[in-house]
Amino acid sequence: MCVQRMKIIHRDLKSANCLVDKHWSVKICDFGLSTIVMDSAVCNPTAVGTPEWTAPELLRNELVTDKCDVFSFGVIIWELATLKRPWEGVKPMEVSLLHP
* More confident site: 79 or 98: 79
Nearest alpha carbon to residue 63 among 87, 35, 86: 35
Average pLDDT on 2-13 reads: 75
| Cα gap 57→83, rounded to integer Å | 26
Catalytically active residues are 12
Structural domain spans, the chain: 7-98
> Where residue 1 falls among pLDDT bands split at 50, 70, 90?
very low
Alpha helices in the chain (DSSP H): 56-59, 67-82, 92-98
Collapse the DSSP code of 87 into the 3-class scheme (helix H, G, I; strand E, B; otherwise coil) and give the result.
Answer: coil
Return the pLDDT at 3.
Answer: 44
Fold of 7-98: Transferase(Phosphotransferase); domain 1 (1.10.510)
Q: pLDDT digit string (tens) for 11-68?
A: 999 999 999 999 999 999 999 988 887 766 666 655 578 999 999 888 888 888 889 9
